[in-house]
Amino acid sequence: MNLSDFDFNLPSSLIAQFPCEPRDNSRLLDLTENNIFDRKFRELPDLLKSNDLIIANNTKVIPTRINGRIKSKKIEITLHKKYNNNSWFCFVKPFKKVDLGDQIKFLGLQAIVRKKLKNGEILLQFNINEETLISFLEKNGEMPLPPYIKRKNLNIQSDYKDYQTIFASKEGAVAAPTAGLHFTDDIKLLLKNKKIDFDYITLHVGAGTFLPVRTDNILKHKMHKEWGEVNQSVVNKIIKCKSNGGRVICIGTTTLRILEAAAINNKGKIGTFAGYTDIFIYPGFKFLIADMLLTNFHLPKSTLLMLICAFSGIKKIKKAYNHAIQQKYRFFSYGDCCLLKKQ
């Protein structure tokens, strides 16, 4: 299976630079039937049944982008994965200006470059512990918006709210689980009034989610690892939902990935899980838990596009994406969404 099988041409004008206002006024491409239907996200409650179960990701994005200096040189750092209590793997710009052993000074703290890796990545050891560092980032850090958001002002105050779901409660992500960005308290109330149950997993989305696939043969691609958790409450609700003939609706690919990883880890049945996963889902994958998936529109040649092709079929997804482009749907993190059914 080749990388070119998952390519498509996307006009740059369709890459959303700001979220829809209000959130639930975004568009929803409904692919749950044989035909394609153009809807609004706020119609979601009408598309679900009373015995369905919605599972969302409750990870919270940390504002991990900070600016510092190596002597007179300006440096931009984005923390993306914890190594230990005071060390993090980071992406740095400009990479060429950073050397092993360099001391980087920030506003009120400093760090030493312990490793210089590939693709703009370094390992930084800070002079404070994790708790103090997180507190510093919350006060001084910028939201690590995706690289395809290229507007002039990248760090406006509204992003601190816009790039966070209403479910966010567990700090640890450096990218938002963007399918959850469409939800509002009003939509959640409508779903609960329809007796559609809710629960939450945690998957701390890493910056690796934006890394391109670099191999023509996708089977040779190595996925990044992300930490996630599926607790007993979620397990119990999934078992109850399935036994009552309900459907498990995953809000976002992160939710789907951790649930399927938990099932694989438990010999094909849903079970609790806490740890790192590098699950790679591509066409031919046998889904064990997810019945439906709400997800945004994904980048060409991305592992997330491969995942939805596995879930709903390559032909159906290509047809849907062509329709979305023709109808000028908004793509990627701040864009519109689609509702998929397992093929």
* Residues 122 and 189 reside in one and the same domain: no
Question: Residue range 75-91: average pLDDT?
Answer: 92
Q: What local confidence, expressed as pLDDT, does residue 155 receive?
A: 66
* Residues 180 and 251 reside in one and the same domain: yes
* Residues 295 and 322 reside in one and the same domain: yes
* Residues 313 and 193 reside in one and the same domain: yes
Mean pLDDT for the chain overall = 95
Q: Is residue 150 part of a domain?
A: no
* Residues 174 and 321 reside in one and the same domain: yes
* Residues 113 and 179 reside in one and the same domain: no
Minimum mean pLDDT among 83-97, 140-154, 241-255: which range?
Answer: 140-154
Q: Is residue 73 part of a domain?
A: yes
Number of domains the chain is built from: 2
Confidence class for position 211, pLDDT limits 50, 70, 90: confident
Q: What local confidence, expressed as pLDDT, does residue 152 receive?
A: 73
User: How many other C-beta atoms can be found within 10 angstroms of the C-beta atom of residue 274?
Assistant: 11
Which CATH number belongs to the domain containing residue 74 in this structure? 2.40.10.240
Q: Is residue 332 part of a domain?
A: yes
Question: Residue range 317-324: average pLDDT?
Answer: 98
Minimum mean pLDDT among 187-201, 209-223, 303-317, 325-339: which range?
Answer: 209-223
Which CATH number belongs to the domain containing residue 191 in this structure? 3.40.1780.10
Q: Is residue 53 part of a domain?
A: yes
Q: pTM for the whole thing?
A: 0.94
* Residues 33 and 70 reside in one and the same domain: no
Q: What local confidence, expressed as pLDDT, does residue 156 receive?
A: 81
Q: Is residue 25 part of a domain?
A: yes
* Residues 103 and 249 reside in one and the same domain: no
Among 113, 141, 169, the domain-final residue is 141
Q: Is residue 153 part of a domain?
A: no
Q: Is residue 107 part of a domain?
A: yes
What digits encode the pLDDT tens for the residues 215-272? Answer: 999 999 999 889 999 999 999 999 999 999 999 999 999 999 999 999 999 999 999 9
* Residues 251 and 269 reside in one and the same domain: yes
* Residues 52 and 96 reside in one and the same domain: no
What percentage of the chain has pLDDT greater than the value 70?
99
* Residues 26 and 8 reside in one and the same domain: yes
Q: Which domain holds residue 115?
A: 65-141
Q: What local confidence, expressed as pLDDT, does residue 258 receive?
A: 98
What 3 state SS string does the chain have?
CEHHHHCCCCCHHHECCCCCCCHHHCEEEECCCCCCEEEEHHHHHHHCCCCCEEEEECEEECCCEEEEEECCEEEEEEEEEEEECCEEEEEEECHHHCCCCCEEEECCEEEEEEEECCCCEEEEEECCCHHHHHHHHHHHCECCCCCCCCCCCCCCCCHHHHCCCCCCCEEEECCCCHHHHHCCHHHHHHHHHCCCEEEEEEECCCHHHHCCCCCCEHHHCCCCCEEEEECHHHHHHHHHHHHCCCCEEEECHHHHHHHHHHHHHCCCCCCCEEEEECCCCCCCCCCCCCCEEEEECCCCCCHHHHHHHHHHCHHHHHHHHHHHHHCCCCECCCCCEEEEECC
Among 80, 108, 141, the domain-final residue is 141
* Residues 204 and 275 reside in one and the same domain: yes
